[in-house]
Amino acid sequence: MNIANRSKDKNESTVDRGSKETRRLFLQGNEAIAEGAIAAGARFYAGYPITPSSEIAEACAEKLPAVGGVYIQMEDELGSIAAVIGASLTGVKAFTATSGPGFSLMQENLGVAILGEVPCVVVNVQRSGPSTGLATRPAQADVMQARWGRHGDQHLIVLSPATVQECFDLTVTAFNLAERFRAPVILLADEIVAHMRENVTLPDPAQIKIVNRKKPACPPEEYLPFKPDPDGVPPLADYGSEYIFHVTSSMHGERGYSQNDPANAGAKIKRLFTKLDNHLDEILLVKHHYNPADELDLLIVTFGCTTRPARAAALRTPNLKAGVLQLVTLWPFPDAFIAEAAQKARAVLVPELNLGQVIREVQRVVGKEKPVFGLHKSNGLGFLPAEISARIEEVANQCLR
Amino acid sequence: MTRININPRRCKHCGICIAFCPKEVFGADYRGAPVVERAEKCTACGLCVMRCPDFALEVGEKGK
Amino acid sequence: MPALSWREYLDEKMLPHLWCPGCGNGIALGALTRALAELQLPRNKVVVVTGIGCWGKADDYLATSALHGTHGRALAFATGVKAARPELTVIVLMGDGDGATIGGNHLIHAARRNIDLTAVVLNNQNYGMTGGQVSATTPVDAVTSTTRYGNPERDFDLCRLVDAAGANYVARGTVYHVPQLDRLIRDGITKKGFSFIEVISPCPTHFGRRNKLGSAVEMMKALKTRAVNVNSPAAKTGELPAGAFLIGKLADRDDPDFTARYAAVQQKAQAKGGFSS
Ligand SMILES: Cc1ncc(C[n+]2csc(CCOP(=O)(O)OP(=O)(O)O)c2C)c(N)n1
Ligand code: SF4
Ligand code: SF4
C-alpha cells in the first residue's frame, strides 16, 4: 500500500465525541460490542452461548427485539453462522459472537460467506485452548486460525480491540468494512478486553459513520450478483427485492450458478484477494502509542490485551526509548506500517499470549536487518507490565546497551 | 388429437413414460427411447409429463 | 400479470440437468415447481435453500432466488432468511444424508422452533452424490458402498421424528404418486409453521443397483406397490404388509410459529423501552 497516502490512526475518526446525544457509560467489553453492533445498524444476531462471549448474546437478546431486530439462539455454531449468512442476504446487517470451540465450528460456513461474498461480522472472544482448554481464561492464540482456519484459498479482514472503547468503535468499523467489501469481518477480541469494565463514550448515533452495502442499480433481469464493479466489489441485492439471484458455496460464475471452468475459478479466487488488497488504505488500522516521527531503541508490536501492559512497561524503561505500535487490523497484515516503524527502531519486541503467531509475520516483514524478539505466554494468564519490563531489560542487555 | 412432444436433447431413456402411461401411448425404439405410437389414445392426463424426471415431455401444452 | 406456468419457475436453459437417467430428483423438482405455480408465488418472493448432494443441486435449475449452503446446514441458512424476513416463502431442499443425517440436529430444532419453512427431504436411502454410502435412512441389512455385508444400523422414520419434534405439518409422498406429491408440497408451503415433506425416491444408480432392485422403472413400480395411503382402510387398521409405508398427510396442527411468537417478544421488548443501559 501507499504509505504517503494513508491517514494516520484511523478508527479515532469514526466517531465525533462532542455531540449532545453522546452517552458516557461504564461498560464491559462484551456489552460495548453489542452496543457497537446495534449502533452500526445490526438487526440480527444468531449465536450459541460460550464463555467468554455470552454477554454479547445476552445483550442482543434484550436489545435487538426492542429496535425491531431479531435474536435467535441456534442449536450450535455451525447453524449460528449459517443463519447470519441467510439473514444478511435479505439485506439485514447480521452478526454472531463466540469463542474458540464455537469459532472452530464456524469455519466451514465462514468459507460460504467468503466465497458467496456475504457481509457479516463474527466476534471471536479468544480464550485459552486447545480444545476446551482453560475455558474462562484469556489467550491470543487464534490469530492464525482467524486467517487460515478454513480450507481453500481466501482472504479476509480481522480487527482486534485493546480497550472497551475500541470494542465499541471497532465493532462499528467491522460492520462498515463488511458492508464496504461484501465480505465477512472477524472481530478478534480476548477474554481480558471482553470482561474488562471501563468508561466508554457512545457517540450520538447521528454522528457515527455508517457504511451500507452497494445495491444494484440495473434492471432486475440484468443483475449479475457476482459481477464486480471496477473496485472489485459486486453490488448485492436483497432476497425478496425485485432482484432474483442465487448465492452458492460452489464455485460460480457472475450469475451465481455453479460453474466448473478453471479460468473462471482462478479469476474469482484472485478477486477475493484483490478486492481487499487493492484497498488496504481503507482496511489497515494501527495506533502509534508514541510519536511516529521519533527514533526508537525498541519498537513493541502489540494487539488486543497486550497493548495496555506493553504501554505501561514502555513508560517504565529507564535509559531506553520504547514505543508501542498497536495493530488494530491483524489481517490483511499491516506490513507497511510495521516496516516503516521498524526502520526507525533498533530492535523489535512482540509480546503475545501464544507461543509465537504474530511474531512470525513481524519477522517476515522486518527481515534479518533488525533483531525481533518475542515474549510468549500460553498458560491462561495475561501479561503484567512487570513481565514485559523484564523482557525489555533482557533485550536491552542483549543488544541495546 | 393431443400433441405429444419429446425433447430428445433432454430425454435420458429411463423408460418411465413408456411403463406408466395408463393408455400405453409410448413405445420404445432400439435404444429404449420413447416413441409416440398411439397418440390417438392419449387423454392428456399429464401423468407422463409429471413423472418425466428430465422435463423432456410436453403434452398439449403451448409450444414454447 | 399473466399467470406463471410451472415451467417458468424452472431455469430451463440449465437443462438437461446432471441427474442420472431415472433418478427421482427431477420428478420431485417438477412437483415443487407445480406447487409454486399453483400458488402463483412471485418468483422474487421465494428463496430456495439447498444443501449438498444430488438433490441439493436442485437450485441450479430454479428461477427463484436461491442459497446453496453447506452439507447439513441448509435449514440453518434458511432459518436466518426466514427469521430476518418473515414475508418470504422459504423452501429447503435436502437429501436424506444432508437433511437427516449430518443435518439431523437442525431438522429437529427447526421442527421444535416451528419456524415457517417448508423442508422437502428427498429420501433415496443412501448418499447418491458421493457414490452410494450408507445414510441414516438406509434400511437395516441393505447394501451400500460402505455396508457391503449389510447395514448393521437401523434407519430413522423421519416423519415420526419430525412429528415428535413438533412440526405443524408432516407428510410423506413418493415420486410415483405425483399428483398427490404436488398437493402435499403445496399444502406444506401454505401451512404456517414448520412443514416437512419426505419424498421417497429411487436412486437407481447406487441404491437400486447394489440392492438388485432393478431399473428405475422397477423401482418406481415398487413405490407403487409399497406405498399405502394414510386414509386407506388398511392404514386405518394399522395392519400393513412388510415393506409398506404410509403416504399422505401424517401430522397437521396449528401451533403458533416462530415468527408469531417472536413478534410477541418484540412487542414486549418495545413496551419495556428496550435499552437498560
Ligand atoms: C461437511 C461435508 N462432509 C461431507 C461432504 C461430502 N458429501 C457431499 S454430498 C454427501 C451426501 C449426499 O447424500 P444425500 O444428502 O442423501 O443426498 P443425495 O446425493 O443422495 O441426493 C456427502 C457425504 C461434504 N460435502 N461436506
Ligand atoms: S398425457 Fe397421459 S395418456 Fe397421454 S401420453 Fe402422457 S401419460 Fe399417456
Ligand atoms: S446418483 Fe442416485 S441420487 Fe444421484 S443423480 Fe444418480 S440416481 Fe439420482
Instruction: Give the domain ranges of chain A.
Output: 13-207, 287-400
* Cβ-defined contact of B14 to C7 (cutoff 8 Å): no
Alpha carbon separation from C55 to B45, C68, C203, C216 (Å, rounded): 27, 11, 11, 17
Q: Count CB neighbours of C50 within 10 A.
A: 29
Which residue numbers in chain B have pLDDT < 70?
61-64
Chains that touch A (3 or more CB pairs under 8 A): C
Asked if residues C48 and C243 have their Cβ atoms less than 8 Å apart, the reply is no
Domain presence at residue B21:
yes
Residue B62 is assigned to a structural domain of this protein: no
State the DSSP H helix or E strand holding residue A388, giving kind and residue range, or none if neither: helix A385-395
**Three-state DSSP class for residue A86:** helix
Helices (H) and strands (E) in chain A, counts: 13, 16
Q: Enumerate residues 6+ apart whose C-beta is below 8 A from C220.
A: B16, B19, B20, B51, C22, C175, C176, C202
The full set of domain ranges for chain C reads 6-232+239-271
pLDDT above 90 for A239: yes
Dump pLDDT digits (tens) for A129-186.
Answer: 999 999 999 999 999 999 999 999 999 999 999 999 999 999 999 999 999 999 999 9
- Single-letter residue type at C108: I
Specify the pLDDT at position A140: 98
Q: Is residue B58 part of a domain?
A: no
Residues in chain A: 401
Q: Which of A67, A80, A85, A88 to mutate to test the interface with C (most CBs of C within 10 A)?
A: A85
Q: Class of the A13-207 domain?
A: alpha beta
Q: Which of C19, C29, C52 to mutate to test the pocket of ligand 1 (most atoms within 8 A of CB)?
A: C52
Interface of B with C in 44-63 (CB under 8 A): 47, 49-55, 61
Cα(B4) to ligand 2 centroid in Å equals 8
Q: Specify whether the CB–CB gap between A90 and C45 falls below 8 A.
A: no
pTM of the entire predicted model: 0.96
Fold of domain A287-400: Rossmann fold (3.40.50)
Cell of C241: 404388509
Tell me the pLDDT band of A9, cut-offs 50, 70 and 90.
very low
What pLDDT was estimated at residue B1?
81
Ligand nearest to the CA of C135: 1
Confidence band, pLDDT 50/70/90 cuts, at residue A319: confident
Q: Which residue of C has its CA nearest to A42?
A: C84
Report how many helices (DSSP H) and strands (DSSP E) chain B contains, helices first.
Answer: 2, 4
Residues 82-121 of C with CB under 8 A from A: 82-85, 87-88, 105-106, 109
CB-CB under 8 Å, B47 with C16? no
Q: Please report whether residue B63 resides in a domain.
A: no
Closest to C201 in 3D by CA, of C128, C143, C117, C252: C128
CB A249 within 8 A of CB A268: no
Distance CA A34, CA A84 (A): 15
* C48 within 8 A of C66, measured Cβ to Cβ: yes
CA distance C149 to C145: 10
Which pLDDT score, from 0 to 100, does residue C275 have? 54
| Residue identifier of the C-alpha nearest atom 11 of ligand 1 | C127
The tens place of each residue's pLDDT in chain C, 277 residues long, gives: 679 999 999 999 999 999 999 999 999 999 999 999 999 999 999 999 999 999 999 999 999 999 999 999 999 999 999 999 999 999 999 999 999 999 999 999 999 999 999 999 999 999 999 999 999 999 999 999 999 999 999 999 999 999 999 999 999 999 999 999 999 999 999 999 999 999 999 999 999 999 999 999 999 999 999 999 999 999 999 889 999 999 999 999 999 999 999 999 999 999 987 555 4
Alpha carbons C14 and C74: distance in angstroms, whole number: 22
A157, β-bridge pairs: A185
Q: Which domain holds residue B45?
A: 3-51
**Alpha-carbon distance A233 to C257, whole Å?**
38
Ligand 1 contact via C54 beta carbon (within 6 Å): yes
Question: What are B59's three cell numbers?
Answer: 403434452
DSSP states of C82-127 = HHH-TTSEEEEEEEHIIIIIITHHHHHHHHHHT-S-EEEEEE-SSB
Whether pLDDT at A206 is above 70: yes
- Burial category of A131 from C-beta neighbours within 10 Å (exposed 0-12, middle 13-18, buried 19 and up): exposed
Whether A78 and C45 lie within 8 Å, measured CB to CB: no
- Helices and strands, number each (H, E), in chain C: 10, 8
Answer yes or no: are the C-beta atoms of A321 and A331 closer than 8 Å.
no
From chain A residues 197-226, the ones with a CB under 8 A of any chain C CB are: 220
Which residues are registered as beta bridge partners of A44?
A70, A94
Within 6 Å (CB) of ligand 3, which residues are found? C 19-20, 23, 25, 54, 124, 128-129, 203-206
Whether a cis peptide bond, with omega within 30° of 0, leads into A65 is: no
Q: How far apart, in Å, are the Cα atoms of C80 and each of A127, B14, C43, C90, C200?
A: 27, 39, 19, 10, 28
**B24 alpha carbon – ligand 2 mean position (Å):** 8
Q: Which is more confidently placed, A319 or A295?
A: A295
Which helix (H) or strand (E) element contains residue A286? strand A286-289
The answer to whether the bond into A101 is cis (omega within 30° of 0) is no
| CATH code where residue B35 lies | 3.30.70
The residue type of C10 is: L
CB contact under 8 A, C26 and B54: yes
Same fold, A13-207 and A287-400: yes
Contact assignment for B12 to C22 by CB distance below 8 Å: yes
pLDDT of residue C270: 96
CB contact under 8 A, B9 and C16: yes
| % of chain A surpassing 70 pLDDT | 95
Number of domains in chain B: 1
- Grid cell, residue A201, equals 463514550
| pLDDT(A215) > 90 | yes
CATH class for domain C6-232+239-271?
A: alpha beta
Buried-exposed string C162-187: b where 16+ CB fall within 10 A, e elsewhere? bbebbbbbbbbbbbbbbebbbbbbbb
* Confidence band of A3 (pLDDT split at 50, 70, 90): very low
In a domain, B57, yes or no: no
Of C120, C67, C65, residue with least CA distance to C96: C120
Residue A305 burial (CB count, 10 A)? 28
